[in-house]
Amino acid sequence: MYSEKVVDYFMNPRNAGKLEDANAIGEVGNPKCGDVMKIYLKINDKEIIEDIKFETFGCAAAIATSSMITEMVKGKTITEALSINNKDVAEALGGLPPAKLHCSLLAQEGIEAAVADYFIRKTGRAPEGFRPAHSTCTACGGSCGGGAAVQAQEEEEEKFVSEDHRVAE
């Protein structure tokens, strides 16, 4: 079902964990659907991604795509990172089953959400014309609201904090 590379990136994730000095954080997905990605970026004054880490709650494909996107964007400029799409992530992993392609879209959206967060922190707003992609989650047929980047959290949604800590209900 999964390529050897997907299994490797799932079993040996690269850049996993929380980045304490992050100046950009993107969170996408929905706990009701099952996959949640939180991506931390450390972006320098030249808008180069110096460091990146992720925390993902989800399936093997979600963890593998999170890990792969961190490898693909580290050391790149924001513009270069935003040019990487979900198909690039899936191809870098040797492909994904059709039912798991939404995981690669969440990886793309995680970067988009983190970049939007960077500009909001820096300037108070996202760049003009910046419109992160919005997805329809194929895992649940869209009933969870999808993994929309910079998605407003609904009150009844569980707020994701990390794999080890969740906000008590």
Output the domain CATH number for residue 110. Answer: 3.90.1010.10
Instruction: Give the side-chain half-sphere CA count within 13 A for 57.
Output: 18
Residue 147 falls within a domain, yes or no? Answer: no
Could you tell me which of 66, 44, 56, 31 has the C-alpha nearest to residue 122? 44
CB distance 56 to 167 below 8 Å: no
Q: Could you say which of 59, 103, 137, 144 is catalytic?
A: 103
140 is catalytic: no
Could you tell me which of 30, 31, 47, 23 has the C-alpha nearest to residue 39? 23
Residue 138 falls within a domain, yes or no? Answer: no
Residue 130 falls within a domain, yes or no? Answer: no
Residue 73: the pLDDT is 98
Residue 163 falls within a domain, yes or no? Answer: no
Predicted TM-score (pTM) of the model is 0.77
Q: Note down pLDDT in tens along the chain; length 169 residues.
A: 899 999 999 999 999 999 999 999 999 997 776 799 999 999 999 999 999 999 999 999 999 999 999 999 999 999 999 999 999 999 999 999 999 999 999 999 999 999 999 999 999 988 776 655 444 444 444 434 443 333 333 333 344 343 444 333 3
Residue 61 falls within a domain, yes or no? Answer: yes
Residue 148 falls within a domain, yes or no? Answer: no
Q: CA-to-CA distance for 114 and 117, rounded, in angstroms?
A: 5
144 is catalytic: no
User: What is the domain count for the chain?
Assistant: 1
Q: Name beta bridge partners: 38.
A: 27, 55
Could you tell me the residue range of the domain that residue 28 belongs to? 4-123
Residue 19 falls within a domain, yes or no? Answer: yes
